[in-house]
């Protein structure tokens, strides 16, 4: 179990409460070496075959039953079919070593791999080549997104998931639901160019997500409610929907979240906070070091989001949000400017800070900044904290200084469709310009 380097520095400065940051250690309590030394349960010894035809589900469940109280379940290199899903619930001090590639052949909904009520857990590939191929295109080509998630963790504590690849989920790729003290890193997620195929959704406490690439057309790495003490950094949204908070509804409770080093290429947005009505709060959140190119929206706070039905309530209260050091370009600044902060009239935003944001349009020679019922400092935000106000928009025709920003070598020229198989990618060596992953990529 470890602390992020960023948290170590924060702890030195703030010996009491650490805002917008992790609250303690994350990751497994026991090393994978210790788990493996205690017991190893190879799925090949429980009936699995790397023939891309024999159902892996029952052998995987049997291997887990033998190792669930201490040991490592191993799926060796090779190609495996998965027709029936597995629910691995109630274990402790175990690991799942995925070095092979699992191909979905079943048609059920739900979750292909569900890890629940588990403590001291690790899911990893020792080679960096372990993957799950969801073959979602077979369902999506029929106009449906009713299939399974690839991976869901529920009420898992002291864990890590790393060095694995998730591809073409029928529905969502990876959900972290009510988990605690977790680390997710060194991953590539690649889905179809269609909404509803989320990359990573997290609603949990004390989670560090870093060095992850997502390709899809919905959530890249998104925080949902309830969540607290979430650190998300070195994120590569490579033709995606982009990162977000939400969508937010009734009794929202999100606090102490920090997004840092997020690179977004040709996506729906760089960061969106989305709601329509509702109640509760989002507070003490930082969005730092964002680079974007070719995105529809950039900084987009929309509490009148038309893609969700209006929920009863005056609106989610947004307060103490900081956006700093954003650079790059947006697709069309006249149509969708780089700053849009539309807050609920019934719950105006307070203490919003936008600083060191320099972005410019890739189309035309002007861009807009728009605010509504939003208070703080920077651009069109108003000073004060009280009354609602109608939308105000300003237009600029000169590019700001120092908006130029780096691109990434892996930027996709075209998105993946929904009617043909999506190839399994390799995990990239970098997830943000100039940033080295915190942990060495397995197999590199």
In angstroms, the CA 1 to CA 29 distance is 5
295 and 173 inside one domain: no
- H-assigned helices in 48-173: 57-67, 137-140
**Domain span at 201:** 1-226
pTM for this entry: 0.96
Mean pLDDT over each residue of the chain, to the nearest integer: 95
206 and 254 inside one domain: no
Please say whether the beta carbons of 419 and 194 come within 8 A.
no
Judge whether 258 counts as a catalytic residue.
Answer: no
23 and 151 inside one domain: yes
In angstroms, the CA 369 to CA 367 distance is 7
In angstroms, the CA 319 to CA 282 distance is 6
Q: In this structure, are strands 101-104 and 271-275 parallel, antiparallel, or unpaired?
A: unpaired
In angstroms, the CA 7 to CA 22 distance is 6
Q: Is the pLDDT assigned to residue 4 strictly greater than 80?
A: no
Report the pLDDT averaged over residues 393-417: 96
Q: Is the pLDDT assigned to residue 13 strictly greater than 90?
A: no
- Count of residues in the chain: 444
Higher pLDDT, 11 or 419: 419
Q: Number of structural domains, the chain?
A: 2
Token pair for 354: 């936008």
Whether 211 is covered by a domain: the verdict is: yes
Q: Is the pLDDT assigned to residue 422 strictly greater than 70?
A: yes
Active-site entry in 218, 284, 300, 302: 218
Please say whether the beta carbons of 207 and 233 come within 8 A.
no
**pLDDT given at position 2:** 75
Token pair for 294: 């070719």
In angstroms, the CA 341 to CA 272 distance is 10
Judge whether 173 counts as a catalytic residue.
Answer: no
| CA distances from residue 216 to 140, 204, 266, 422 in whole angstroms, order as listed | 13, 23, 11, 11
Q: Is the pLDDT assigned to residue 439 strictly greater than 80?
A: yes
In angstroms, the CA 200 to CA 14 distance is 30
Q: What is the pLDDT of residues 64-74, one digit of tens each?
A: 999 999 999 99
Q: How confident is the model at residue 282 (pLDDT cuts 50, 70, 90)?
A: very high
Report the pLDDT averaged over residues 213-232: 98
DSSP E strand boundaries for 249-404: 252-265, 271-275, 280-295, 299-302, 317-330, 339-342, 349-361, 367-372, 374-377, 392-396
Q: Is the pLDDT assigned to residue 376 strictly greater than 80?
A: yes
Q: How confident is the model at residue 5 (pLDDT cuts 50, 70, 90)?
A: low
Bridge partners, residue 104, by sequence: 82
Please say whether the beta carbons of 286 and 277 come within 8 A.
no
262 and 167 inside one domain: no
190 and 330 inside one domain: no
284 and 217 inside one domain: no
Please say whether the beta carbons of 340 and 300 come within 8 A.
yes
CATH code at 264?
2.160.20.10
Q: Is the pLDDT assigned to residue 219 strictly greater than 80?
A: yes
In angstroms, the CA 240 to CA 260 distance is 18
Please say whether the beta carbons of 174 and 214 come within 8 A.
no
**pLDDT given at position 189:** 98
Please say whether the beta carbons of 156 and 121 come within 8 A.
yes
Report the pLDDT averaged over residues 124-153: 96
158 and 35 inside one domain: yes
Could you identify the residue written with the tokens 């840092």? 260
Q: What is the pLDDT of residues 320-351, one digit of tens each?
A: 999 999 999 999 999 999 999 999 999 999 99
163 and 31 inside one domain: yes
Q: What is the pLDDT of residues 248-275, one digit of tens each?
A: 999 999 999 999 999 999 999 999 999 9
Q: What is the pLDDT of residues 155-198, one digit of tens each?
A: 999 999 999 999 999 999 999 999 999 999 999 999 999 999 99
């Amino acid at each position: 179990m470890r602390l992020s380097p960023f948290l170590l520095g924060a702890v030195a400065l703030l010996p009491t409460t650490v805002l917008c940051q992790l609250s303690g250690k994350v990751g497994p309590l026991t090393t994978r070496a210790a788990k493996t030394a205690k017991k190893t349960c190879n799925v090949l010894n429980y009936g699995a075959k790397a023939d891309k035809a024999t159902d892996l589900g029952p052998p995987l469940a049997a291997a887990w039953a033998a190792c669930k109280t201490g040991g490592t379940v191993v799926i060796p290199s090779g190609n495996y079919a998965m027709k029936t899903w597995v629910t691995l619930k109630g274990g402790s001090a175990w690991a799942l070593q995925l070095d092979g590639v699992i191909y979905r052949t079943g048609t059920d909904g739900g979750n292909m791999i569900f890890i629940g009520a588990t403590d001291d857990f690790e899911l990893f590939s020792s080679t960096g080549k372990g993957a799950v191929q969801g073959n979602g295109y077979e369902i999506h080509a029929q106009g449906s997104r009713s299939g399974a998630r690839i991976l869901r963790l529920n009420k898992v504590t002291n864990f890590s998931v790393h060095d694995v690849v998730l591809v073409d989920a029928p529905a969502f790729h990876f959900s972290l639901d009510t988990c605690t003290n977790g680390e997710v890193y060194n991953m590539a997620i690649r889905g179809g160019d269609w909404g509803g195929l989320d990359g990573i959704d997290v609603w949990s406490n004390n989670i560090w997500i870093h060095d992850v690439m997502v390709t899809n057309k919905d959530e890249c790495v998104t925080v949902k409610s309830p969540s607290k003490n979430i650190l998300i950094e070195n994120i590569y949204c490579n033709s995606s929907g982009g990162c977000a908070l939400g969508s937010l509804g009734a009794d929202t409770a999100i606090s102490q979240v920090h997004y840092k080093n997020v690179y977004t290429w040709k996506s729906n947005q760089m960061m969106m906070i989305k709601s329509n009505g509702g109640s509760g709060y989002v507070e003490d959140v930082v969005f730092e070091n964002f680079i974007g190119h070719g995105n529809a929206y950039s900084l987009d706070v929309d509490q009148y989001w038309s893609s969700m039905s209006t929920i009863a309530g005056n609106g989610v209260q947004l307060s103490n949000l900081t956006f700093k050091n954003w650079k790059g370009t947006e697709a069309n600044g006249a149509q969708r400017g780089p700053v849009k902060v539309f807050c609920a009239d019934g719950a105006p935003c307070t203490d919003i800070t936008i600083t060191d944001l320099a972005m410019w349009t890739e189309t035309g020679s002007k861009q807009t900044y728009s605010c509504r019922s939003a208070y703080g400092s920077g651009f069109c935000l108003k000073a004060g904290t009280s009354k609602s106000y109608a939308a105000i928009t300003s237009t600029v025709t000169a590019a700001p200084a120092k908006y130029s920003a780096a691109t990434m070598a892996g930027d996709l020229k075209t998105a993946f469709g929904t009617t043909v198989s999506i190839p399994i990618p390799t995990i990239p060596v970098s997830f943000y310009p100039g940033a080295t992953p915190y942990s060495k990529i397995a197999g590199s």
